[in-house]
Amino acid sequence: MTVPVMLSVGAATHPGQRREVNEDSYLARSPLFLVADGMGGYEAGDRASRAVVDAFDARGAEGAATTLEAVRDALADADEAVASIAAGTSRGAGSTVTGVALVDDEGTPSWLVFNVGDSRVYRHLGTELQQLTVDHSLAQELVDDGSLAPEDMRSYAQRNVITRAIGAPDSTADSWLLPVTNGERLLLCSDGLTSEVSDEAIRATLTMSGRPESAAEALVARANEAGGRDNITVVVVDVVAGGLPQSFAGESTSRSAPVESTLDATTIPVRETRP
């Protein structure tokens, strides 16, 4: 990248009002930002999410950008580590992961957005909020086939049933590539936020909050006030400079390219497609 991307970052995590152990973990250090939500209960959930973060931390040395190959390798390392933890427990273990990686796409600073499970990445620009990731969950499948309205996902009784996870038989990672845009705010969060706080409330909080640290703390507070039935983790990333001007925001979103990736323990073939 010819011009360094300047970022401002804030993060907050809380066990919530009903959980004694926080099974969420996060990484918030350029060029990698991610949230992992562990599963397996007290026995292994926190270890699983931490293993995911450690795998990415080991592959993402501090610098201006990382690479698609490093992200693929980190996903493979994480899958292997969580599967090893699960093998040593009676209940098994797994973890979601969602994240963004700063990469150089033919000289253009870009975000590689990726997820496995139902933790999410949102993009906030101006006053608009866009969900970039698609949940791997039973609720999302019902929305996709028209059996459930999108606005009913938060109240759906089986909203916590996910269809993909790191360490599970299906750990396929979906990913997208889009240019970095000046003034945009990215939100990474576990479902402890989205199961308690509506997208409109999230949008309003991101719009009204100042620094990323304040936005992260305000979102966690809103989730706790709404019941805090799960662990809550939020990472907020602001692009200060070095990206595309906001006048290109609409065009850059329409040009975002899906990156199809298949994850297993040994090979991660990736085919990039562009519209």
Q: Residue 117 CA to chain centroid, in angstroms?
A: 9
pLDDT digits (tens, 9 = 90+) for 125-134: 999 999 999 9
User: Maximum distance among all alpha carbons in the chain?
Assistant: 54
Task: Report how far residue 91's alpha carbon sits from residue 243's, in angstroms, rounded to the nearest whole number.
Answer: 45
**In angstroms, what is the C-alpha Rg of the chain?**
17
Confirm if 66 and 102 have CB atoms less than 8 A apart: yes
Retrieve residue 32's tokens.
Answer: 């990698």
From 27-41, 47-61, 142-156, 242-256, the region with the lowest mean pLDDT:
242-256
Q: How many CB atoms lie within 10 A of CB 169?
A: 9
Rounded average pLDDT over 86-104: 91
Please tell me the predicted confidence (pLDDT) of residue 250: 53
Neighbouring C-beta atoms of residue 228, cutoff 10 Å? 20
What domains appear along the chain, each with residue ranges and CATH number? 6-248 (3.60.40.10)
pLDDT at position 41, please?
67
Choice among 3-12, 37-46, 117-126, 219-228 with the minimum mean pLDDT = 37-46
Q: How far apart are CA 127 and CA 139, in angstroms?
A: 27
Please tell me which of 36-45, 92-101, 149-158 the model is most confident about, judged by mean pLDDT.
Answer: 92-101
Tokens found for residue 223: 């989730």
In single-letter form, the type of residue at position 220 comes to V
Output the CA torsion sign for 218, 253, 184, 105. Answer: positive
d(CA 75, CA 84): 14
Predicted confidence at residue 263, as pLDDT, reads 36
| CA geometry: angle 165, 89, 163, nearest 5 deg | 20
Provide, rounded to the nearest whole percent, the portion of the chain with pLDDT above 70: 86
* pLDDT value of position 252: 47
Neighbour count for residue 215 (Cβ, 10 Å): 24
Question: Looking at the predicted structure, is the pLDDT value of residue 218 above 90?
Answer: yes
Residue 61: per-residue pLDDT: 63
Mean pLDDT of all residues belonging to the chain? 86
Q: N- to C-terminal Cα distance for the chain?
A: 23
- In this prediction, residues 141-164 reach a mean pLDDT of 79
Locate 171 and state its tokens.
């750990």
* Residue type at 70 in one-letter notation: A
DSSP tally for the chain: helices H, then strands E = 7, 12
- Inform me whether the pLDDT recorded for 146 exceeds 70: yes
Q: Which of 128, 134, 133, 235 is nearest to 184 (CA)?
A: 128
Question: Which tens digit of pLDDT belongs to each residue from 44-70?
Answer: 899 999 999 999 999 876 666 899 999
pLDDT digit string (tens) for 167-197? 999 999 999 999 999 999 999 999 999 999 9
CA distance 26 to 99: 9
* Least confident piece of the model among 62-71, 87-96, 153-162, 253-262: 253-262
Confidence of residue 2 (pLDDT cuts 50, 70, 90): low
Pseudo-torsion of CA 253, 208, 153, 273, nearest 10°? 10
